[in-house]
A and B are shown apart, each in its own frame.
Chain A
Amino acid sequence: MDEREVVLTVDALTKHFPVRGARFGREGKVVRALDGVSFELRKGETLGIVGESGCGKSTLARTIVGLETPTSGAVRFRGADLHGLRGRERDDMRRRVQIVLQDPYSSLNPRRTVQETLLQPFQIHPDVVPRAKRLPRVKELVELVGLNPDHLDRYPFQFSGGQRQRIGIARALALSPEVIVCDEPVSALDVSVQAQVVNLLQRLQRELGLAYVFIAHDLSVVRHISDRIGVMYLGKVAELGERGLVYDSPAHPYTDALLAAVPIPDPAARGVERALLAGDPPSPVNPPSGCRFRTRCTRAQDICAVEEPILHSIEPLGARDVACHFPLIPENTLAR
């Protein structure tokens, strides 16, 4: 078992958004974007989160860093409830958990130079670095992410997409966080640049002991960077466990179907029949009863419509939890 200390705890996190048109005094409809998500993140670890659009992975990212207030549940940084704290205590905790956003074009203020952008975290949290040491710190940050310190007075438009994402990463690092939530950090980048940014994130993790929650729809990138994987479906975690286990022998039928859809970049592997998932995910406003995946699941039985499967560990499946009444148990694990 992992001995490293737990830095972030997400506990039964729920976020419901009212659907437009809902009124006071009437039971309004809600989008159940997050519906009871729990996990722990250890120091220096990367937890990858995958799932289709609408599964709640971006809401999860935003709620963890405090851009959304949870409907219920808690996000704890080293035991302190990030949404329960107020004032200085809250600020002090919040700076430890930072976010890198998807789009390096819209997440940087076009009218601020790199230096202005990177100085801003210190203005919001003035106690972290004394005024005189801020500029040297900004230079240090820029070098850390592989940008030229001579370019500090440039504006975002003067940089390429990959360089802008480096600025976004430098900004996230400014306040020396322990946890960084990466919400699709390479999705908007060119293929030839993606690998550079993934390598940078991994180097920073090694050097600074960062823990990542890495959210992406590209399953091969997530596999590459993650220690553990969480698979989300309609606001819930379907499967959570060690990378190798989840990818090589998925236990939840949804994980299995999701992985089967990933194109294999090798023409020699062509012609292998794959079980494709039919249709789209149901609406999170009115999710199916019982197991939310049952409407698209090939293994669904009567019980799946009645009783919601709880995320739990299954003995022969190793270090991983599954929320399924009829998980796929690979034959070789049974034999063992």
Chain B
Amino acid sequence: MTTPVLSVRDLCVEFRTRDGIVKAVQDVTFEVEAGATLAILGESGSGKSVTAQTVMNLIESPPGRVAGGQILFEGRDLLTMSPEERRKVSAEGIAMVFQDSLSALNPVYTVGEQIAELLRVRRGMKRKDAWNRAVELIARVRIPAAADRAKDYPHQFSGGMRQRIMIALAIALDPKVLIADEPTTALDVTVQAQIMDLLVQLQRETGMALVLITHDLGVVAEVADQIAVMYAGRVVERGTIFDLYERTAHPYTRGLLRSMPRPDRDDDTLWAIPGSPPNLLDLGPGCAFRSRCDAAIDLCSIERPEPLPVIVGDPRVSACHRREEVLSGRA
């Protein structure tokens, strides 16, 4: 068993709003090893992006606040470091790719300048060397005519090409962990497939860990080793991709997988999870999914289920009172 390069334990993040405190992330635990891919799957408001932003220290405070937990990078807790130390450790070790590449890049500098600047500041490279390295990186993300394209501004690239530039920027400092927050959501399926292929190849070449934040069950199935499913700020189920797709131990994951249109069975009606995601201001006691759950029992509205292993010794964890029955198909 290798030690995880990134390990998040019991992370809690809150936001103070006019209407009260929103507990956006609660007791979130996951880890990812070098060379492995963890997918964090969730809908909007599930807390998946806030989790990623907290790891990257991008939460604005106030209104945001880390209310508890640890973020261990190579065994050291980022949350207890001094701001300077954390900045240094995360800048070198953890990089992030965002969904919206147009607003994540600076519109008034060429893409080559932006990558070169990072190398000059962080690596102390000379102007010329930094530029050459930037061109290399642009070629590495498979953009044709890299030396010329380095002189272009972000708006001169198509969405897919710009996302490649974001990836070049992210891998410039050889990070140990790459967090990709919905990297292909705004892209066409054809371009999405290219970008996912590129991420997987780069991961193979560099051995970095990949944390993929997404709502797309198809993308997850193609690249992830481990998956953590989030709902209303909590991880409701966690395990290996093969285990979860074969059989789930949480009714929410099960509902998501069942609601996908499947060409192999031409059902007339799709399975649909009733209702809509809950308001995070008003979760109440018990399980946040209970009102939409087809397996809910009285206990679910009284006591919140803790994430526990379904089978002793099995890495799969489910936060459901009826996890064993759900897994075995009895609920």
Contacts and interface: CB of A to CB of B under 8 A. Distances in A.
A106 to B, nearest CB: 16
Interface in B265-279: 267-274, 276-277
Contacts of A265: 217-218, 220-221, 245, 257, 260, 262
A266 B259 contact: no
Contact of A280 (B161, B255, B257): B161
A267 B242 contact: yes
A124 interface: no
B222 A257 contact: no
B276 A268 contact: no
B193 A261 contact: yes
B269 A196 contact: no
Given A199-B272, A264-B222, A52 B242 contact: no
Enumerate the 9 nearest inter-chain pairs by beta-carbon distance, A residue then B residue, closest first: A263-B218, A224-B261, A195-B272, A195-B259, A261-B193, A160-B276, A195-B270, A190-B43, A52-B188
B129 interface: no
The interface residues of chain A, by DSSP majority, are classed as helix
Given A220-B262, A261-B192, A261-B193, 15 more contacts: A52-B189, A190-B43, A191-B43, A191-B256, A192-B272, A220-B218, A221-B261, A257-B190, A263-B218, A263-B221, A265-B221, A270-B221, A276-B194, A277-B190, A280-B161
B303 interface: no
Contacts of A155: none
B324 to A, nearest CB: 23
A154 to B, nearest CB: 15
Contacts of A191: 43, 215, 217, 256, 259
A249 interface: no
Interface in A251-298: 257-258, 260-270, 274, 276-278, 280
19 contacts: A52-B188, A190-B277, A191-B217, A192-B252, A192-B272, A194-B259, A198-B261, A199-B269, A199-B270, A217-B189, A220-B261, A257-B190, A261-B192, A263-B192, A265-B245, A265-B262, A266-B245, A267-B222, A276-B193
Interface of A: 52-53, 160-163, 190-196, 198-199, 202, 217, 219-221, 223-224, 247, 257-258, 260-270, 274, 276-278, 280
B175 interface: no
Interface residues of B, number: 46
A153 B2 CA distance: 59
B284 interface: no
Contacts of B268: 202
Given A196-B272, A202-B269, A276-B197, A267 B189 contact: no
Contact of A262 (B160, B218, B257, B273): B218
A263 B190 contact: no
